[in-house]
Chain A
């Protein structure tokens, strides 16, 4: 199959959907001729015009208002917030308005937008350009939260998100933009709320999100050389969560390691752990549920410090070995 980078897959999804549905448009800072801070929308303004690829002032609250309001009129906007850190400016509109409008108004209205934003560390951008704030959004009823890890998934999930009738927070990862993988040219959707087993194994389950799926798969390959077969499960959407797929895997392996980049305290891993502990998989657990997550510190600038702030392949290998060998 043809290969694309994750970034190209995002762009292809946007491009194809804008060709298919004239209600879809892009809005954000520097998304026009600049092509977006990471180049995701490069070439799109030349093809679709400034009316459908809209550059904005540096007004994240305004961007959130623009997509919320436009969605109310029947459009299907795709907003971009340049760094996830800057969603902090947009929170009022996303959390108080977009997320709650349908419920507050007795189900009489729909707010179909996607807000794309890149999260994550590893670029040396330090504390204000590296955060992973997905848990904030997961905690808000009315929002859906998607966190794709592969080029294939990012295209199918983005198309599904744009066609969804709810506000969707679509979290990309800067370090994933350059990874390559097979992506069909045709349009396809991946239903929100369906996890994916990225690798099968019988000794332990690794539930990982976003960039950590990539690292977990690398770790699993190393573990296999040592005779440990890890199953890697990617929830793909944090909300809605495919609880069944995760529970099924943990029931099979009896051990689970949860890996995410965001800070450990209050992170999504706590939710996953609670889901597993409260399910029938509890009876199959042979060891405590283990979480491997970012340290509870802001992301440091220094390369070495930054590296040691979030889980790396060797951390996953080490934690998985301890877990699989009954040392936890």
Chain B
């Protein structure tokens, strides 16, 4: 009651933006709602600049339930950057799918709000609420395309598997609550020690948590939902899902495991190292034979989750810095690639890689952006992905996980193969249809931004690297 609510200004502003756009959508007639998409983009941009004012806050609210620190602010910027780029690119696409226009953008903002709450969650209840705010809006968004059976099917599948993983996660949380008697993440570590160390019920709880979080970040034994949902969902949703949902789950996972179970690092590090290796290998190998570009990107994003998890295995400031840095640049690479896919499919109605033949002639911009984004994901030197992988891999080498680095490097080489085979189709093959593809203004802005930032961060990663270092230090600072 005596909490300082101005510390939650970012979340409050986001919630007000969502409700405000919902109300405006009700007041203006249906044909005039097309400005709402841009309104959301502008609103999110404003909130994005607001977040910079919160660096260095590092406070707890409500007795540790809600944490405002540099780590959460950095992740909020990741979500906002993704939200801005996706809403900017999606305006025309959403108009075309003929669903309720304003509702789509309202849902996007609500999903962003859920991610923000998740990244700031300091206790189990906040964590669960943030997680569900995000996932339930994504169930709706995945099934958003009216009259498209693939979209509805993606929604139902995501709902069933997502709800199941939430229930498993929740059961784990309830066991940890029962064994320690607290829901505050920061108090868990001390109470486990006081309660006589690791009891069987706690271990079961921990395993359930790994399964629940593993599902959200689509780590390998729990990845089966993501290719289907990525393929079936409307493409802007897929982009936002791949980036935002994954980053938010990583934020919660890092805070949870590093703060609540620091004394059992040896145990869960082994588990995460195995999961990371498995995820990298399976994601990359299964991506190779894919013929649908959205499925290919889905498997590649599974592999990316594996790379990011190596930073969690390191479990120190350097590793977390690598995770934060990689997630931010992953936003630009993924949103750029999916914007190309979105624009291509709304022009030609196809998501098949073979139809990308001669894209370089039909739309040089789209082909260039897709090439840059894919190569950044593969980690080719002058691009941002290379810097990100250096940060991640160097953090675990010093901890003796050389074998994991070797797995990562070998599979990165393998990933270059399927990324370049798309490039080959785009640049070498002749187009079957020579009509140029028009890129609408919003999508063009997104494409140029993502390509520019990906190249810029590859050449000059310092600014983002400094921010990521601040974020990672804040995580360990708070008590």
A and B: partners? no
